[in-house]
Structure 1
Amino acid sequence: MRSLTALVGDAASILPLASTVKASRRDTLGLGPSSLTVGSKTLAIGESTHAASFAVADYPAEVGNGWLEPLLSYPARIDVAIHVEPVPATVAADRLRKQRARLESGRRLSAERGRLDDPLTESTAADARELAYRLACGEGRLFTVGIYLTVFADGDEALAETVSAVKSMADGMLLRLVPATYRTVQGWTTTLPLGLDGLRIRRTFDTDALAACFPFTSDQLAQVADSTTPVLLGVNGTGAGLVCFDRWALDNYNSVVLARSGAGKSYLTKLDILRSLYSGVQVMVVDPEQEYVRLAEAVGGTIIELGVPGTRINPFDLPSEPSGDAVRRRALFGHTVVSVLLGSELTASERAVLDTAILAAYAQAGITDDVRTHSRAAPTLIDVANALAADGGPEAKSLAGRLAPHTTGSFAGLFNGPTSTAAEGHLVVYALKHLPEELKAIGTLLVLDAIWRQVTSPQRQRRLVVVDEAWLLMKEPAGARFLFRMGKAARKYWAALAVITQDAADLLGSELGQAVVANAAIQILLRQAPQAVESIDAAFGLSAGERAYLLAADRGCGLITIGASRAAFSAVASADEHVLATTDPAELARMDAAKNPRNPSPEDGDF
């Protein structure tokens, strides 16, 4: 740093030699420009880049969250640096005491001389008094903050035009910019990611004012004061900030993602899952298309693939938490299971014999209303069918015969034994792709029941239930009722329902679907098809610009709505996250080829 500063003294005689030295070092190390031409207010970096540095000297009296966004998103190359240094508590208290003493003495002197109260002095004194009490209670701290920026352009004329425009924008923000006159090198290095403040033009901020300077926020989204677990959604579509949201700090935790096929809805959801897992959220996914299996394998999650031989879910399993009415509740659910299996509603007499058979199966397994017996192995559908056959009545035999395909016939694989895989872990994926169409309805019902039992368990934990391709579930009455019930009651159990669908018409075209959307505090719209944009427009009240944006949005780009706030965003992912989240068939084929090469090249020596 001292060698660069020395160039300011005699630039004409030293710069040619310095340029040669810098060029050789750059060729060796790959660091630094080829030359520096130092002026009083500008700096020429290399052969064509010109720069001018400024410090913010005056600030507005009050600012809001993301107030630096106009400066950060200005359509030119501007490097902005914020230097923050905490003030020790004892020093801060002493400074505030002296400041309050000066203000109070000024007020008393004005009163003795009969002058009118100065509104500015009164406001400053009130602010200082409030800040002093907050510091004394440990609710805030003081910091010295310096905000600097360096404007770049190709050529002196272009730099002058850009600087003029930036100053005009700063004046509109009530900021006064002072140039780094005769300290252009220090100003430039101050805005480099070196952590060095060579200008030291600073102001004192409290904690709230400093938080408002945080550059990675969206000024278009409502910020929740008690947010502690925000999730990064992406970069702001109209600025340079980041778009984050914290579902657990909102009135309810539900979300809805609507997009056409290929718009990136599953990609975005996987990023949400990964980033939610970081904060200790348990995630359960209903996966109709086998899209979340790779993600679960990578993070050590539990995968339950219904339809695969040996994978079973016993509908008569009792909850892990003991309850005196658990047996009767499971018996009632058994009525629903049998009704879905048979594809018709049961008559009153059929319900009577079925209820008797279910209770008899529990009794034969040694399970009664006594909670001490609930740890024993639960009966299965075969045990219920055997109890029906042993009843001897015509209706019982009829039911047992109609259940035969699911107990001993072609569809018995899902029911002919106890539950094979416990639905435990930080991530549980229920993959339904391998289920035959004839078992889709009952498989979905069993999965939703297992999820609901975990959500309503006495163990309090943040849980995120992801239902992908929700339009498939909306076609089934049991699935539609589940979404409706979750949307209404999930918050009571510290759970969130995330509904993702590509068929907005099916979701918005039913009363249950509209209730799910209405009970979602977070609504995300990605690229829409022209055929569906009318219903989306009617449901969400889009402006003409927002409607056009959704029709032309790139993959992963869209709108997020939280309450009355709405912002455009573009999803971003790290390289590792992208590998786990992508569903592009071409990328997946390349990944598979890289793992299992089948066509070695001639360089491999196999030809």
Structure 2
Amino acid sequence: MANFWQFKDIKDGVIIMKTGQYRMCLEIFPANFNLMDEEEKRRAIIGFEQVLREIEIKYPLRILVQTRKTNANDYINQLEHTYSIRSIGTYDLFRKYADFIREVNKDYEIITKKFYLILEFSELKYTLSKDIISREEKDTKKKHEITEEEIFQEVRQSMIAILTTFKSQFQAINLKSKMLGTNEIVKVMMAYLDEEKFLNNREFYEHIDEQRQRALKQNIPFSVINKISPDFIEDENVDLMSINHKSYLRSEFLSELGSHAYIDWFKELVMFPYANDLMFTFTSKDAGETVTKLTEKRHRIEAKIFDEKSQHKPKNIADTLVLESTEKIEKQYLRSEIKPIDLKIEATFRSDTIQALNMVHMNLERLLNRKMMRSRIYHYEQFEGLKGTFIGGYSDTSTRNHRDLNTDVAAFTFPFIIPQISSSTGILYGVDEINRSLVTIDRKELESYNRSIIAATGAGKSYFIKLDLIRSRMIGYQSFVLDVENEFEMVTHYLKGKYIELNDKSIYYINPFHISGPEYKAQKIEFVRDLLKTMYGNEKISVTDITYIEKAIGAVYEECLTKNYQPVLKNFIKAIESLQRNKTIENLLIVLRSYHEPSHPQYYLFNKQQNIDFANDDLIVFALKYVDKRDFVVAVILESYWNYINHPKNRAKFKNLIVDEASQLFQSGLIVEKLGSLALRGRKYNSGVTTIVQSINHYYQSPFPRTSDLFDQSSLTLVMKHKVSDSFDKLNEKVHINTPERAYLERLEIGKGLLIVNDSKIPLSIKSSEEEDRVCTTKPPV
């Protein structure tokens, strides 16, 4: 095992190699070439060529395509273990879901692909000279010893600058990317070495940086390598290795790349539907040396042509074509239009049995034969091959395993062509119509927990959300729904949740003035101030009066926190009554006193202590269709939800706030402000917001700018059947909808949509079991 590790530590998102190099990584969210026309594919390849031309000599750029395939039983077992299904009381739901997954897995595979760009860099000038003279020390010519930490930080900042350039270049071809931190790099390594160990100890590995800091404070040695290391990596044969006697691996490299380069050159290899790690290594070469060799080659061909002409031999067309090609490439090098590249393509395939692995190899050979390519197994060098496809390693073999190319040719290897999303800890969203694979998503793996759903009435958006509620409840997520059209009563009863319609006859109450602790005082003062202004009818209140009112609100909370009770409206009326009276204060008091009258329709909203316990209910649906002054009610619900997720003891469970027909609520500044804050800061509190609208324009045509945050802060968007012509311009601006994608959207059927996850697009078809279908159908058949 010791010989396998070619890095010594991972720190601040940097892999520190034993040879003195450093590595940082980008995760690239791929395009979908199946939904792109030829011109757009060509633009992507040209953009990728610009990335390859940025590679510096001696510092290779690596691209890792990590593919994992899971069978239904492994997925089900992992889901049960991860969420402790048997202990959260949802096993009956889980059993039905498991039966459905086993059935649908007969027709659809469970495959996921991840794409990573790995930048390698060396120490800067301080490597050779371990000292530097600062400006302040120049006069005295004192030398300052450069520490390893200073070298590390200098290198890290240089690498971040390069990766930022790469991110911009990928963004120009509509590919989103993100830099990986230490925890995320460890996750990639564990997926390579021992994914089961990672999933069984997910909490530890997802916070390994914190674990390191805790250990260092206690003077306990901490080694990342020891934490991620599998028990065994052993040779099983001259062409085979095993990890922990559970996974069998075989490493190969491409020895022949075919006769010519073209669009979709490596599409079938990237899409190869078996578990593998495919590593492209691009190394820049000295252009001067390459030009010298080309010049010599040109001279030889010219001499040959001249001799044959002198001897009156027939003209050799092949020589003429080679000469023209050589002259063209030579000129391109001299004009710096292209650069020489050394390309190495390695792959490690894995399976549970040797027989299955042999079958994978046979299928790979058939694929390569069709494309006039060849692969060679690393015989007697499997250990080196294994290191070659590891994110923190490289192969050092005696076998020639690379090819000389130019950047314009190498760009056709463009691997970011197909998104396949299937998390072993995610719930089913549907099936990918093109790749025929199940789409399972774990929202906690996304950059943000927010979602946006765009669909017309009858497209299936409520059906999708009801399915999501059932499956989210199964894994222990809490869900809170603002049901604007009263469509969720059946699914609420099915899941034994609370279906609440807040009105003067309701037995449930929410106290908008509730405060969880002194640290939330400033937030509560701001909310109550805005609430009172709204109750006053948003008539103008002077800055001076607002200041006095804020002081009065603060005094109420100070007293409540001191005497340990929760305020209601009468406490604020009493505090405002003590202020110096003027016309504004008098009018405000008249309004507030009217809300304190038991005969007022909203008396229940401001004068009762809260008896809805957000912490103890896993599903609460607020029916809002017939609620009087709905904006008030929704603002109060959102404030109470904010109070709930803010409390430290409530952060363990994942919380899902769903806003149906959200555009009907976008006319209230109080609601929009709170939803925007939840979208921006919810991840910190383990909370996500799902908004459902009929057009993307609803996010951007509201009178309140923060409405746009609800879309801009979403990592997942589902665009279903709706009037595309009205929203296409904004959709194209925000998520770049090309011509084939627009055509797909315009012919969508009910229950289908374009799923956009981190800008990667998947044509999705929603799938449900018979029982789920009965529960989720808005108007079930008689």
Whether these two folds match at TM > 0.5 is yes
Looking at structure 1, the residues matched to 373 and 239 of structure 2 have their Cα atoms a distance apart, in angstroms, of 27
SS at match of 2:418: coil
Looking at structure 1, the residues matched to 759 and 630 of structure 2 have their Cα atoms a distance apart, in angstroms, of 38
Looking at structure 1, the residues matched to 577 and 692 of structure 2 have their Cα atoms a distance apart, in angstroms, of 43
Partner amino acid, structure 1, of 2:475:
S
Q: Could you say if the C-alpha distance between residues 355 and 532 of structure 1 is closer, same or farther in structure 2, counting changes exceeding 3 Å?
A: same
For 2:667, which of 445, 452, 475 is the aligned residue?
475
Asked whether the 8 Å contact 2:109–2:438 carries over to 1, the reply is no
For 2:524, which of 330, 338, 346 is the aligned residue?
330
Structure-to-structure mapping, 1:237-276, within 5 angstroms: 237-276=433-472
For 1:558, which of 742, 753, 760 is the aligned residue?
753
Task: Report the alpha carbon displacement of residue 263 of structure 1 after superposing the two structures with TM.
Answer: 0.7
SS at match of 1:490: helix
Which residue of 2 is the match for residue 508 of structure 1? 700
Task: Report the alpha carbon displacement of residue 353 of structure 1 after superposing the two structures with TM.
Answer: 5.0
Higher-Rg structure is 1
Task: Report the alpha carbon displacement of residue 271 of structure 1 after superposing the two structures with TM.
Answer: 1.6
Task: Report the alpha carbon displacement of residue 386 of structure 1 after superposing the two structures with TM.
Answer: 4.3
- Asked if 1:233 corresponds to 2:429, the answer is yes
Looking at structure 2, the residues matched to 119 and 260 of structure 1 have their Cα atoms a distance apart, in angstroms, of 49
Which residue of 2 is the match for residue 303 of structure 1? 499
Looking at structure 2, the residues matched to 119 and 262 of structure 1 have their Cα atoms a distance apart, in angstroms, of 50
Deviates more, 1:251-260 or 1:270-279: 270-279
Q: Could you say if the C-alpha distance between residues 342 and 503 of structure 1 is closer, same or farther in structure 2, counting changes exceeding 3 Å?
A: farther
Partner amino acid, structure 2, of 1:441:
D
1:295-331 CA-partner distances (Å, limit 9, x unpaired): 2222122333223523432221121xx33x4455433
Looking at structure 1, the residues matched to 232 and 699 of structure 2 have their Cα atoms a distance apart, in angstroms, of 60
For 1:431, which of 623, 643, 646 is the aligned residue?
623
Which residue of 1 is the match for residue 639 of structure 2? 449
Q: Could you say if the C-alpha distance between residues 264 and 142 of structure 1 is closer, same or farther in structure 2, counting changes exceeding 3 Å?
A: closer
Q: Could you say if the C-alpha distance between residues 141 and 443 of structure 1 is closer, same or farther in structure 2, counting changes exceeding 3 Å?
A: same
- Asked if 1:315 corresponds to 2:512, the answer is yes
Task: Report the alpha carbon displacement of residue 232 of structure 1 after superposing the two structures with TM.
Answer: 0.8
Q: Could you say if the C-alpha distance between residues 247 and 220 of structure 1 is closer, same or farther in structure 2, counting changes exceeding 3 Å?
A: farther
- Asked if 1:466 corresponds to 2:658, the answer is yes
Partner amino acid, structure 1, of 2:596:
T
Asked whether the 8 Å contact 1:358–1:384 carries over to 2, the reply is yes
For 1:415, which of 584, 606, 631 is the aligned residue?
606
Q: Could you say if the C-alpha distance between residues 526 and 340 of structure 1 is closer, same or farther in structure 2, counting changes exceeding 3 Å?
A: same
Partner amino acid, structure 2, of 1:277:
R
Q: Could you say if the C-alpha distance between residues 466 and 220 of structure 1 is closer, same or farther in structure 2, counting changes exceeding 3 Å?
A: farther
Asked whether the 8 Å contact 1:525–1:559 carries over to 2, the reply is yes
Asked whether the 8 Å contact 1:304–1:421 carries over to 2, the reply is no
Task: Report the alpha carbon displacement of residue 339 of structure 1 after superposing the two structures with TM.
Answer: 0.8
Give the percent of matched residue pairs that are identical in Structure 1 and Structure 2. Answer: 23
TM-score (norm 2): 0.46
Task: Report the alpha carbon displacement of residue 564 of structure 1 after superposing the two structures with TM.
Answer: 4.0
Task: Report the alpha carbon displacement of residue 560 of structure 1 after superposing the two structures with TM.
Answer: 0.9
SS at match of 1:65: strand
For 1:144, which of 323, 331, 354 is the aligned residue?
354
Which residue of 1 is the match for residue 418 of structure 2? 220
Structure-to-structure mapping, 1:482-497, within 5 angstroms: 482-497=674-689
Partner amino acid, structure 2, of 1:458:
P
- Asked if 1:401 corresponds to 2:401, the answer is no
Asked whether the 8 Å contact 1:316–1:331 carries over to 2, the reply is no
1:102-129 CA-partner distances (Å, limit 9, x unpaired): xxxxxxxxxxxxxxxx998xxxxxx9xx
Asked whether the 8 Å contact 1:533–1:547 carries over to 2, the reply is no
Partner amino acid, structure 1, of 2:524:
R
For 2:737, which of 542, 563, 573 is the aligned residue?
542
Partner amino acid, structure 2, of 1:302:
K
Task: Report the alpha carbon displacement of residue 483 of structure 1 after superposing the two structures with TM.
Answer: 2.9
Looking at structure 1, the residues matched to 676 and 108 of structure 2 have their Cα atoms a distance apart, in angstroms, of 48
Asked whether the 8 Å contact 2:431–2:764 carries over to 1, the reply is yes
Partner amino acid, structure 1, of 2:591:
R
Looking at structure 1, the residues matched to 109 and 549 of structure 2 have their Cα atoms a distance apart, in angstroms, of 73
Q: Could you say if the C-alpha distance between residues 399 and 146 of structure 1 is closer, same or farther in structure 2, counting changes exceeding 3 Å?
A: same
Structure 2: tracts of 5 or more residues without a match = 1-63, 71-105, 111-229, 242-252, 256-275, 277-349, 360-364, 375-385, 390-416
Task: Report the alpha carbon displacement of residue 236 of structure 1 after superposing the two structures with TM.
Answer: 1.9
Which residue of 1 is the match for residue 569 of structure 2? 381
Asked whether the 8 Å contact 1:388–1:397 carries over to 2, the reply is no
1:235-283 CA-partner distances (Å, limit 9, x unpaired): 2222432122222112222221111111111111222222222222222
Asked whether the 8 Å contact 1:405–1:411 carries over to 2, the reply is no
Aligned residues: 413
Q: Could you say if the C-alpha distance between residues 528 and 381 of structure 1 is closer, same or farther in structure 2, counting changes exceeding 3 Å?
A: same
Partner amino acid, structure 1, of 2:353:
F
Which residue of 2 is the match for residue 603 of structure 1? none
1:525-551 CA-partner distances (Å, limit 9, x unpaired): 111214424233343221222212212
Structure-to-structure mapping, 1:121-160, within 5 angstroms: 143-146=353-356
Asked whether the 8 Å contact 1:284–1:466 carries over to 2, the reply is yes
Asked whether the 8 Å contact 2:504–2:603 carries over to 1, the reply is no
TM-score (norm 1): 0.59
Partner amino acid, structure 2, of 1:271:
L
SS at match of 1:290: coil
Root mean square deviation of aligned Cα: 4.4
SS at match of 2:236: helix
Which residue of 2 is the match for residue 23 of structure 1? none
1:399-451 CA-partner distances (Å, limit 9, x unpaired): 22122332213432322322242223222223222311xx2221121111112
Partner amino acid, structure 2, of 1:415:
F
Asked whether the 8 Å contact 2:491–2:776 carries over to 1, the reply is yes
Looking at structure 2, the residues matched to 440 and 173 of structure 1 have their Cα atoms a distance apart, in angstroms, of 63
Asked whether the 8 Å contact 1:314–1:380 carries over to 2, the reply is yes
Asked whether the 8 Å contact 1:380–1:416 carries over to 2, the reply is yes
Looking at structure 2, the residues matched to 79 and 528 of structure 1 have their Cα atoms a distance apart, in angstroms, of 29
Looking at structure 2, the residues matched to 296 and 443 of structure 1 have their Cα atoms a distance apart, in angstroms, of 20
Partner amino acid, structure 2, of 1:144:
I
Task: Report the alpha carbon displacement of residue 398 of structure 1 after superposing the two structures with TM.
Answer: 2.8
Deviates more, 1:420-429 or 1:570-579: 420-429
